[in-house]
Structure 1
Amino acid sequence: MARIILLEDDTDIREVVQWILESENYEVFGFVNVADFMDRDLNLVPDLYILDVMLPDGSGLDVCSHIRNESRDAQVPIIIMSAHASLEQVSSGCVADAFIQKPFDVDSLLKKVNELVN
């Protein structure tokens, strides 16, 4: 079972995305903010990260850069989700594998997740 780490501060969005992914047999670990994400069990190695951009205590783009530059998970695929950032902003902020604009289409989300995990 593939593991996905989801960093999303909006409870409704986090719960819906988690439910959708779990219904597709993914194991999802949700985090509300950057601090909780950074304090996670580092033995938890995901197959995919899904990161929101605007978080209460930081930026998903900074988390993305941290993963890419300072982590053993540098090769793990990353999807950036945002209602506010554009693809250009995301591209200049970190090297993500995919971008999803909120609100998002469920089929589009699942297609990107499946492509990156498999």
Structure 2
Amino acid sequence: MKSIYIVEDETGIRDALQLLLSFENYDVRSFSSVEMFNSRDKSVNPDIFILDVKLPDGLGTDICNEIKNDPQTATIPVMIISAHAKAENVINSCDADVFISKPFDIDDVLVKIENLTK
């Protein structure tokens, strides 16, 4: 079973993604803050990270850079989801594999996740 880590502070979006992705047979773990994400078990890595940009205690783009600069996680795809950030700003500030703007089409998200985790 493929696993997904979601860092999203909005409960509704986090819960909806967790539920929908669980129905698609993904093992989903979600975090509502940078601090919670950073205190995760780092001995296990997911097949993909999904990050919101604006978090209560930091930026998803910073997490993205940490993931991409760490040899343990550098090859794991990162999807950035944001209502605020413009795609080109995000692309310039971190090396995310795909950017999705909110509100998003869940079918589009699922296709992109499937493509990134092949």
- Shorter-chain TM range is over 0.9
Counterpart-to-counterpart distance in 2, 1:70 and 1:26: 24
CA-CA distance at 1:71 after TM superposition: 4.6
Map of 2:44 onto structure 1:
44
* Partner secondary structure for residue 80 of structure 2: strand
Size of the aligned set, in residue pairs, is: 118
Segments of 5+ residues of structure 2 without an aligned counterpart are none
**Aligned residue type for 2:92:** S
Counterpart-to-counterpart distance in 2, 1:98 and 1:59: 16
**Aligned residue type for 2:65:** S
Task: Give percent identity, aligned residues only.
Answer: 47
TM-score, normalising length from structure 2? 0.98
Map of 1:27 onto structure 2:
27
1:1-118 to structure 2, matched below 5 A, reads 1-118=1-118
* Partner secondary structure for residue 104 of structure 1: coil
Counterpart-to-counterpart distance in 2, 1:85 and 1:96: 13
**Aligned residue type for 2:39:** D
Counterpart-to-counterpart distance in 2, 1:44 and 1:3: 10
**Aligned residue type for 1:66:** E
Q: Deviations over 1:28-51 (max 9, x none)?
A: 000000001000001221000000
Counterpart-to-counterpart distance in 1, 2:106 and 2:3: 19
